[in-house]
Chain A
Amino acid sequence: MTINNPESGKQGAAFEMDERGPVVFGPVHEPFERPAEKMVEGPLYMETEEVIPELAPLASAEEQKDEARKALSMNLDRRDFLKLFSATAVASSAACVRRPAEKAIPYVNQPVDFVPSVANNYATTCGECAAGCGLVVKTKEGRPVKVEGNPEHPISQGGTCTLGQAALQGLYHPERRKSPLLKRGNRSDLISWDDTYEMLAKDFAGKKVGILTNGSTGHRHQFYREWLKAIGSSDSRLYTYESNALYAAIAQAHSLAFGFEALPRVDLRQAKTIVGIGSDFLDVGVSPVFFAKNFSEARNLKSGSMVRLVQFETAMTITGGRADERHVIAPNAELVTLLLLMKALTERADVKGSANTKAIAKKILAANDAVTLGGYEAVGVDKAVFEALATEMIKNQSVVFAGGSHSFDDQATALQMAAIVVNELIGAYGSALMLDRGWMISPVKPGDLKRFAQEASGLDALLIIDSNPAFTLPASFGFSEAVAKIPVVVSMQTQPVETDDLAKYVLPVNHSLESWGDEQPAAGFWSARQPAVLATTDSRQAEDVLLWIAAHMKRSMPYSDYRAYIRERWKAVAALVDAKGEFDNFFNAVLRRGFVGKLTTRGNDSMRDVTGSVKAAKLPSAGTLRLLAPLDVRLNDGRGANKPVLQEVGDAMTTITWDSWVAMNPQTAKKMGLRRNDMLKVESATGTVQAALYPLPGVHPDAVIIHRGNGHAKHVSKISGENGVNPLALFAKATDSATGMPVTSGATVKVASTGKIFQLAAMQKHNDLANRRDIVKKLSVSEAAQKMMKRQNLDEVPDLYPAMYNTVDYRWGLSVDLTKCTGCGACQVACAQENNIPQVGREQINLGREMHWVRLDRYFEGDTNNPQVSIQPMMCQQCSHAPCEAVCPVFATVHDPEGINSMTYNRCIGTRYCANACPYKVRRFNWWTHRWNMIGDRLQDRNLRALNPDVTVRTRGVMEKCNFCFQRIRDAKHVAKVQDRKVMDGEVRTACEQVCPSDAIVFGNLKDPNSRVAQLRADGRSYLALGGDPEMKEYGLKTLPNVSYVSHVSHREGFSDSLHSEHGAHGTDAQQDSHGKSEEHKGH
């Protein structure tokens, strides 16, 4: 992290900010905000209007604004400057011995807040999904180079998900349209923005104009409604749509149950038991980072216990992988399962909840009597399980999460309703679920899609803004047909999408990092969005386009631009948080910090009788294969598919990149005579798709899982076009009646082999631990609680050589908590962005040549039908006795006195001996020249501008690997040196630590015994990978890594024992399929 102007005061940024004026932040209540445990020097979040006080202290606010305007207008120079600065001029004549002359081109007028080669950070809000996580965008020379989570932001708490982390690749995507497009018949012409406004103004005049847009919790939808009204249409013609149907279902259920359309905010810190019924709250859920942070905190071993996650699911999700108890249920049996749980609860006398709730529960159970009687067998879970669970849930503070994208069927809203009832019965509302204070705003209005389907035929014109329903809705939904009848369709997108094909006008709009805006993730909590860079192509902010159209229609709205609108609306926010003083100061301070809020409260509602919504639950039909089409964690509904970095982060469970795959239970596959990589034909009444098989342990025998996200049309993107398949083609027209959202789970399919083989680009070739004991160590909770009490010194190893690190101030170390890591892959994306790691594409991945500096090793153990999952992030272990260093003939990799195993790229000659010698196999070799400046024929080629200028770009024939983000250590040390102090704990955060939504990674100085990482390393639960069993005086390879792992702790029965028994020796079927036979040593 870079402090922009360290000389301005030794107090650090946080104080300086407060000195700036009478800015009052609304009190952010417990338990919402994480208390600042320690002062951590953070970045100074710059916003575009700011001026460094010491340089221009006297300028008035008005002048400041002008100055900033000028700075912005200079951005053109800035970009040219960059172009010329970074590009080397053509080599001079051959006679000249010198390197080609480079030009140094300064600004004409340098913005006052600009120091060359020092990063400016801008606080903003992520726009990749509707969750509204806070971001800090690091810009160098005016160019965003890294997106980080805003550590103070209460929603994301510093984390970002895979998708959010990859926002930069969206910003710099070379396929973004350069200009508006007008389509006439088969022709499409580039038109100017002025013509666009003119033509659209004519087209819209006096017509019934509608807007279909993606979810947002901020002022955007309100603006659209105002605009619709202003141009003479009706504000009811705003249709909001998110392909993540969970928003609509939960909001609808709460609307029905409490008459209040919202999503409860979760607080898991006190929870002891979490029950997931087909839930994917750690995968996609409704706010993945917020949930992951919450869950991770609940996973802390506090006074010897931690939250227990019980998951009932059909697919093998990341959430299920974290479960302490996992039950595989039949496809679409979620509602029945929940009813069985409800039954078990109501049968207990000590059940919580009001009498009203109990009565409703009884009624619901009575209405579904037929189902609950025979349910156990159909679901596949014993009655005893529910009874035990009910006891536990009542005894402990517990919560139920139900539903997810893989279980969204026509009973989805009913499922949520039942979940509300169950949560009432266990008293989750008010403790783990907050509906009365700071509830989460639904980004969509439930039922909008249903309304759209009904009203589309009546529209004269439709604006589709930042939404791609042509791809994300099943073809059977009839979206394309409905839209085709609308005379004027305008598609306003940041990137080319399938929906553009339906439109007459295709307008490129700003990426969220180029936009103004805001989100309100929780009621009363506002998160601001400001541009970190001027539009990188000739795009406009969608809202500004609308304002221009209105102006051309002579129906101007009273705002010069959307920023002005936001400012106007934020006056209300200022009032909400009781901000005193100048509004300008307030607004500037908010932009600087990124958010403000004072949680809104409301009274409790008693539950309405919702029996009618939860009747006629259906028993799943056994024996037929059912298709589930979950959202992909990385690609979401397909919006991430054109980003190579996301395609290349493997799916957590299968480690497959770049493809769609068919996940099936290994035994079902075996029975059908199918093997891994067999190209399958998956056929339903409405269509056929072909994808290769991956037998995935833990999937229900009747389930066929194909993730959404891939299968884009060829012309949409060179990267995602014709990559994989879209499973939605297999779904017949069916919707969840309460929300109108299409069903994406449970289509009956037939699966047959095509006889062809398609090599799925799975990064991991072997899937279990092969009975090895010092790789992933596992502990039961009680053991862990015991070990936690013990301090240990992992570096105490008999050694012939002199001790290291005696004379230095720092010894950098990293700790990875295997209990917390979910395997989401955000660290891989962050690492790729920070360290300029190239993407290599399917063929190379198939060979095993992925370049991730951090590998996510996923190990299955135990029952093939319901395996234990361990995920181990494996980055360079920075061994103190590194086997790789001694073997390098040219000192290209040597040991830094501060513990970093450094890699000098320009010294490397490519013998690759180091990589062979590395027992962790974490070194990566550049087999090819990676091209950075264009999307070439190869998918992995990336935009030159997205490169981090602080990190050397590696050439062909060079080894590379994790170096603990040394550029960050370097920067922090320079700052500390200038301030005559040591680097503080938490001042340097590696990209992976920073991004981790689960806080599984901790980096710091091992020489400081009080640093977080030193504490963790000394914790009895920690161990060194391949470090043997130090308690038994057996030290393994004695590589003495500076990376330590905190053992995987789980409530699972016999969890730690599996280490020392034969339990783990049996290879899973997925592995058997790929290797022919189980070839593991069966122990001694």
Chain B
Amino acid sequence: MIDASKYSNTVKWEKTISDVNDEILVNLRNPHPSFYVAFAIAATALLVAIGFVAAHTILGLGVWNFAPPLFWAVDITNFVFWVGIGHAGTLISAILFLFRAKWRNTVNRSAEAMTIFAVMCAAVFPLIHMGRMWVGAYWALPLPNTNNIWVNFRSPLVWDVFAISTYFTVSLLFWYIGLVPDLATIRDRSTGFKRLVYGVMSFGWRGTAKQWYHYEAGYGFLAALATPLVLSVHSVVSWDFAMSLQPGWHTTIFPPYFVAGAILSGCAMVYSLLIPVRKMFRLEKFILPEHLEACIKLTLLTSTIVFYAYAVEFFVAWYSGNTYEWALFEKRAVGPYSFYFWTMVFCNCIFPLAWWSKRVRNSIPISFVICILVNVGMWFERYNIIVSGLVEDFLPGSWGHFEPGLWEIVITTGSFGLFFVFFLLFCKFFPIISLSEIKLIMPKPLSRGHAGSVKGH
């Protein structure tokens, strides 16, 4: 009746479930000093960017460096980038949950948190890029109004509003419902005001068998709902581009291509977040090399899909015989924006190939660097799609040129600041690893011998 987990056979755990609460929740007490340094940097970047955004709201969008024929540039690049980052969390929580991939239990909490903060970062950009965000926020939603006019449900941007807000809501619920038992754990370990706060946040979770049973069922359904959602969100985002006629945008491969890219960037981001967090909060004994390797394998898989998508996109551009399409792709590869293109190709497709070697895969420093590069590459992928797709399109008379300026750089940095401020706050106040879920994949506390000792005896 009680099977030893398949994983616990292959994964060599040094810890037991009794160590989980004590060692993971150490972050609530005393983080590494590097935490404060990181937080200060992130907060500074965020505050500076808030100042810039305030200024651009007052002065006008003209302060940005982009101009016709580019009406989107770094703003929407960041939007797509962050939405992409936001894919890994729910993918890991939902799809891998359904696939019963156990390694997910070590990383899903932080990945989900990352998702939520990334989607928040993403949602900021459509707002600020309008310049008059109050109008946009008010009108882009289907609210009753005295004008008797509603939103255009045929616009990909309205789909975006629906997709992003649904995704954010579902991810948030998914993350929070997973947090509830862990918050109860923290509540049980604390006293006074803190106990009250965590008590309220945990809804009074008690961990009875009935609760666990409904919880598990609901969690499963949420995962089942979130799975198509994960795949749909970036498809919808890709339609922002694919639904227009622009060369380089108007292509059917975009949805799968974007989803794969999103998962690639998300997994790479998860990895590059886990490494410092693992160090900072001394979680090496819980996030084991085997788990990291599994994450890398997924990244490698999506990288090859992305590689394929790039190749197909090029092939189709050539094969279609469409002058405009092919001229654009040619320009991407050898034109004035080729730097971005080749950065993208090398970072997303070529460097990850090193992971075919198990040694490289298991070398944390090398993998960390490659993951960072993949993130850079994925940012440039979006930059490349948007900028090179717009800068030189149909009529040569309207062509232009674009390089990012000060506002682009500061606000992009600020979005990273926003992300890390939230992520670090999360690391400080919430369990970084899902306590209840990691207990599930650890050796079960069995009386018959092999399961290690139980605390207190």
Contacts and interface: CB of A to CB of B under 8 A. Distances in A.
B139 interface: yes
A193 interface: no
Interface stretch (A52-60, A909-917, A963-971): A909-917
B395 interface: yes
B62 A1079 contact: no
A505 interface: no
Nearest to A857: B397
B218 to A, nearest CB: 33
B59 interface: yes
Interface in B31-88: 59-62, 65, 67-72
B60 A909 contact: no
A775 B157 contact: no
B140 A1081 contact: no
Interface string B135-162: 1100110000000011110111110010
Contact of B323 (A773, A888, A889): A773
Nearest to B243: A887
Is chain B's binding surface mostly helix, strand, loop or mixed? loop
B220 interface: no
B323 A771 contact: yes
A928 B57 CA distance: 10
Contact of B71 (A916, A1026, A1079): A916
Given A928-B62, A1039-B245, A858 B397 contact: yes
A956 B131 contact: yes
A926 B392 CA distance: 21
Contacts of A769: 396
Nearest to A883: B245
Given A848-B400, A887-B244, A909-B140, A957 B394 contact: no
Contacts of A913: 71-72, 155-157, 240, 244
B130 interface: yes
Contact of A910 (B136, B149, B390, B396): B136
Contact of A775 (B150, B321, B395): B395
Interface in A924-963: 924-929, 956-957
Interface in A1070-1084: 1075-1076, 1079-1081, 1084
Interface stretch (A265-273, A315-323, A760-768): A760-768
Given A765-B401, A848-B400, A1081-B323, A909 B139 contact: yes
Given A909-B132, A928-B59, A920 B398 contact: yes
Contacts of A920: 394-395, 398
Given A848-B68, A890-B151, A891-B152, A859 B136 contact: no
Nearest to B57: A957
A401 B239 CA distance: 58
B45 to A, nearest CB: 25
Given A772-B324, A886-B155, A921 B395 contact: yes
A670 interface: no
B152 A890 contact: yes
Contacts of B130: 909-911, 957
Contacts, number: 176
Nearest to A1067: B396
Nearest to B394: A919
A844 interface: yes
Contacts of A773: 323
B131 A957 contact: yes
Contacts of B62: 844, 849, 927-928
Contacts of B244: 883, 887, 913, 916-917
A855 interface: yes
Interface string B312-334: 00000000010110110011001
A912 B390 CA distance: 12
A552 B372 CA distance: 88
Contacts of A36: none
B246 interface: yes
For chain A, the bracket of interface size reads: 35 or more
A1037 interface: yes
A159 B240 CA distance: 44
Given A909-B130, A917-B244, A956-B131, A927 B394 contact: no
A1079 B397 contact: no
A925 B68 contact: yes
Contacts of A765: 399-401
A1017 to B, nearest CB: 21
Contacts of A847: 65, 67
Interface in B192-227: none
Contacts of A1084: 321
A1026 B394 contact: yes
A872 interface: yes
B250 to A, nearest CB: 9
A920 B240 CA distance: 18
A610 B400 CA distance: 55
A831 B240 CA distance: 32
Interface string B392-414: 11111111110000000000000
Nearest to A1071: B396
A765 B136 CA distance: 32
Interface in A855-908: 855, 857-859, 872, 874, 883, 886-891, 907
A917 B246 contact: yes
Contacts of A858: 397
B399 A766 contact: yes
A924 B61 CA distance: 13
B282 to A, nearest CB: 46
Nearest to A850: B68
A917 B249 CA distance: 10
A1084 B71 CA distance: 31
A463 B401 CA distance: 52
A770 interface: yes
B365 interface: no
Contacts of A1076: 336
B157 A956 contact: no
B91 to A, nearest CB: 27
Given A768-B396, A769-B396, A910-B132, A888 B335 contact: no
B336 A857 contact: no
Given A921-B398, A1075-B336, A1081-B326, A1037 B245 contact: yes
B403 to A, nearest CB: 11
Contacts of B431: none
Nearest to B72: A916
A764 B140 CA distance: 34
B396 A772 contact: yes
A928 to B, nearest CB: 4
Contact of A1080 (B59, B70, B245, B327): B327
A890 B161 CA distance: 12
Contacts of A916: 70-72, 244, 246, 390
B89 interface: no
Contacts of A907: 139, 149
Nearest to B71: A912
B77 to A, nearest CB: 13
B126 interface: yes
Nearest to A958: B132
B398 A849 contact: no
A822 B438 CA distance: 75
Given A927-B61, A956-B131, A1075-B336, A886 B154 contact: yes
A872 B397 contact: yes
A927 B67 contact: yes
Contacts of A957: 60-61, 130-132, 135
Nearest to A927: B62
Nearest to A891: B152
Interface in A822-859: 844, 847-849, 855, 857-859
9 contacts: A765-B400, A849-B68, A857-B397, A859-B397, A883-B244, A889-B139, A889-B152, A910-B131, A920-B394
Closest 7 CB pairs of A and B: A857-B397, A927-B62, A912-B71, A921-B398, A847-B67, A917-B244, A889-B157
Given A770-B396, A889-B158, A919-B394, 4 more contacts: A886-B155, A890-B139, A911-B136, A919-B245
